[in-house]
Amino acid sequence: MTGNDQTSTNLRTSKSIHHPHSLRWRAFRRHKLAMFGIAIILTLIMVIIWGPLFSPYRPEKTDLDAILIPPSPHHWLGTDELGRDLLTRLLYGGRVSLAIGVLAMIISVTLGTLIGGLAGFYGGRIDNLLMRLTDMMLAFPSLFVLIILSLAMRNLPIEALRGTPSVSILSITLVIALLAWMPVARLVRASFLSIKEQEFILAARSVGVDNLRLMFRHILPNAAGPIIVAATFRVAAAIITESSLSYLGFGVQPPTPTWGNMLKNAQTQMIRAPWTAIFPGLIILITVIAINLIGDGLRDALDPHKN
């Protein structure tokens, strides 16, 4: 079931007395939940970056004598089916999952902004063409196409990266991004369409500013608000998509851990060793909640007359 985050696109007028940025920042700070979300994410990032340095275990080092140990003083979250320390794997997996999330977001937002911006700005034929393209991509049932694409693009023929985990990580990221840019494009198009008609744009045009500058230096910064909000939600969506794909077995190749493929590995013994299934899922839940909180906070701050 969907629950499209971008159904309503609110437009702002820049009628603030104070500098617009500080006003928004203050509104954001007041949003307690969003602050909470940021705190969680920052903690998570710190732990993920520096935690592994303190861990005596390596994520891929198997220890066949220590299979499926429940949480204990030696292994705070227990071990998995090959004796690898779960906590260490969660942290390394976090690097991969978050990297995929952020990278997929960057690609999809860039792509979406480009397409939506061009469509909104130029209108007419270009708008029609680009929107048909967007509609076509939206018409595909996403999980289905994700699976097919990941099957087909499983092993990108990039010689330099051959044999490293980066190959499958990159291909998964690309696949996820290719199916995530459409809501952003719609959003950006709507923004551009309305901002384009505003007085300060007409003024700039009459002064002779060329199209490119118009788009990037005048319109885009004003459309930035909804884009940032969308980008935030895209990260959460990408993390969940990656976990679904990996759970079904179409994600990153072993032995590289991601939160999603840890859940897949856990499935065969989730009754015997529930900790292998509970912790990866839990951390996905927490991360995604935190990101959503931040997104909501941003949305409230950047779209003041939403509520």
Partner 1 sequence: MLRYLIRRVIQAIPLLLLISVAVYGLIAISPVDPLALYEGNPNLTPEDAALLEYRLGLRQPLFLNLRGSNGTVNPPSADLYATWQGHTPPPIGTLPAGAEVAIINGARQGQVRWVQVLDLERRITGWTPRDRLTIHVNPFDSRYFKWLWAVLHGDWGRSSVEHRPVLEMIGERLPATFYLMSVAMIGQMLIAIPVGIVAAIRQYSLLDHLVTVLAYVGRSIPIFWFGLLLIILFHATLTWPAWAGEGLAGQPLFPGGGMFDLRLRRELGYTPWWDYVHHLILPATMLSVYGAAQYTRHMRAGMLEVIRQDYVRTARAKGLPERTVLYVHALKNAAIPLVTLLALDMPTLFGGALLTETIFGWPGMGRLFFQAAQRADYAVLMGIVMINAVLIIAFNLLADVIYALLDPRIVYN
Partner 2 sequence: MNCKRYALLISLILTLVLSACARTSVPAAGTAPIAPSPTATALPTDTPQPGADKRGGTLVMGFYQEPDVLNPYIRTQTVAGIAGDFMERGLIMTLPDSRRVPDLATEVPTLQNGGVSPDGLTITYTLKTGILWSDGDPFDCQDVVFTWQAIMHPESGASSTSGYKDMESVSCPDAHTVVVKYKTFYAPYLTRFPAILPGHTGLDPAKMKEWPYNRKPEPVLGPFMLEEWVSGDHMTLVRNEKYERWASEGKPYLDSIILRWIESREVGKQLIQTGEIDFLWDLVEADIPEAQKWPGVVLDALPETGTERLLLNLVNPELDAPCLEYLQANPSPHWALGDARVREAIELGIDKQKIVDKLLYGLATPGTTELNLGWARANIPLSPYDPEKAKTLLQEAGWIDTDGDGIRECHGCATAEPGRPLKLKFQTTAGNALREQTQQVIMEMLAEIGIQLYIENLPSAELFGSYASGAVRKHGKFDILMYTTTYGIDPHGHMEGYYATYSIPCDANAGRGYNYSRWIDPEVDRWLQVAGSTPDEKVRAEAYQKISERIAIGRPQIFLYDRMDINAHVEALKGWQNNIWETIAWNAEEWWLARK
Task: Give the interface with partner 2 as residue ranges (CB under 8 A).
Answer: 60-62, 64-65, 67, 81-82, 151, 154-155, 162-164, 249, 253-255, 265, 267-268, 271-272
CA distance 223 to 189: 10
Piece of 81-89, 159-167, 196-204, 281-289 that binds partner 1 (CB under 8 A): 281-289
Question: Taking the mean position of all CA atoms in its chain, how far away is CA 205?
Answer: 36
Give the list of residues 6+ apart from residue 200 with CB closer than 8 angstroms, or none. 218
- Smallest separation (angstroms) from partner 2 to the CB of 264: 9
Residue 274 partner contact from partner 1, partner 2, none using kind-dependent CB cut-offs of 5 to 8 Å? partner 1
What value, to the nearest 5°, has the Cα angle with vertex 143 and ends 34 and 91? 50
Q: Which does 207 bind (CB under 5 to 8 A by kind): partner 2, partner 1, none?
A: none
Q: Which two tokens stand for residue 106?
A: 């960057």
**Among 49, 151, 202, 203, which residue sits at the site for partner 1 (rule: CB under 8 A)?**
151
C-alpha to C-alpha distance for 206 and 200, rounded to whole angstroms: 10
Which does residue 64 bind out of partner 1, partner 2, none, counting CB within 5 to 8 angstroms by kind? partner 2
Residues 6+ apart with CB under 8 A from 112: 180, 181, 182, 183, 184, 185, 187, 188, 230
Nearest distance, CB of residue 85 and partner 1, angstroms: 21
Is 70 a binding residue for partner 1 by CB under 8 A? The answer is no
Among the candidate windows 1-9, 55-63, 87-95, 164-172, which touches partner 1 by CB under 8 A?
Answer: 1-9
Positive or negative, the Cα torsion across 215, 219, 220, 223?
A: negative
- CA gyration radius for the chain? 22
The yes or no reply on residue 140 touching partner 1 (CB under 8 A) is yes
Q: Which does 82 bind (CB under 5 to 8 A by kind): partner 2, partner 1, none?
A: partner 2
Task: Residue 47: name its binding partner from partner 1, partner 2, none (Cβ under 5 to 8 Å by kind).
Answer: none
Task: Give the distance, in angstroms, between the CA of residue 52 and the centroid of all CA atoms in the same chain.
Answer: 23
Question: Does residue 293 interact with partner 1 by CB under 8 A?
Answer: yes
Which long-range CB contacts under 8 A does 246-249 form with residues at least 24 apart?
248/147
Footprint on this chain of partner 1 (rule: CB under 8 A): 1-4, 7, 132, 135-136, 138-141, 143-145, 147-149, 151-153, 236, 240, 243-244, 247-250, 263, 267, 270-271, 274, 277-278, 281, 284-285, 288-289, 292-293, 307
